[in-house]
Amino acid sequence: MNTLTAGDAAPLFSLPDQDGNPVALESLKGKKVLVYFYPKAMTPGCTVQAQGLRDIQNELQQNNVVVLGISPDAVKRLPKFIEKEQLNFTLLSDEDHTVADAFGVWGPKKFMGKEYDGIHRITFLIDEEGNVEQVFNKFKTKEHHLVILNYLNNGE
């Protein structure tokens, strides 16, 4: 796994959103884009993480930040997650984990003694020019949104 770091150019991508419409990173130039990778919709950790981002949407918008949640879930699973949790941001389907590979977040994981390949819970803040401004990879899911806000407000 070769995870992108601050200063790297973000890989250009286009993925289907919860409605099956393509969303291209390039179309968001001029805005900051929070690209957060999560393992699976409607699981406890992913739900808490998404709820936190939902709850700070106003602050994110004030900072010109658009949120894109990316998982290997099928498109048809995403609207259920959005509806159930009343999410107010875009979810993208990366079923073949091509984008996760490009960002360096797909790799070996361990859970309950089993090893497998999967998404690592890492978030990237992409600047207005399309470069990685900040990488968030040390956080508890319930504090993810606070770590993001702290960075946006204090640069830490």
Amino acid identity for residue 53 in this structure = L
The tokens describing 97, both together, are 């984990």
Q: What percent of the chain has pLDDT over 90?
A: 87
Model confidence at 142, pLDDT cuts 50, 70, 90, reads very high
Question: Which pTM does this prediction carry?
Answer: 0.94
pLDDT digits (tens, 9 = 90+) for 97-129: 999 999 999 998 887 888 888 899 999 999 999
- Give the closest residue to 35 by CA, choosing from 10, 52, 56: 10
pLDDT digits (tens, 9 = 90+) for 2-39: 899 999 999 999 999 999 999 999 999 999 999 999 99
Decide if pLDDT at 156 tops 80: no
The residues that are catalytic are: 46
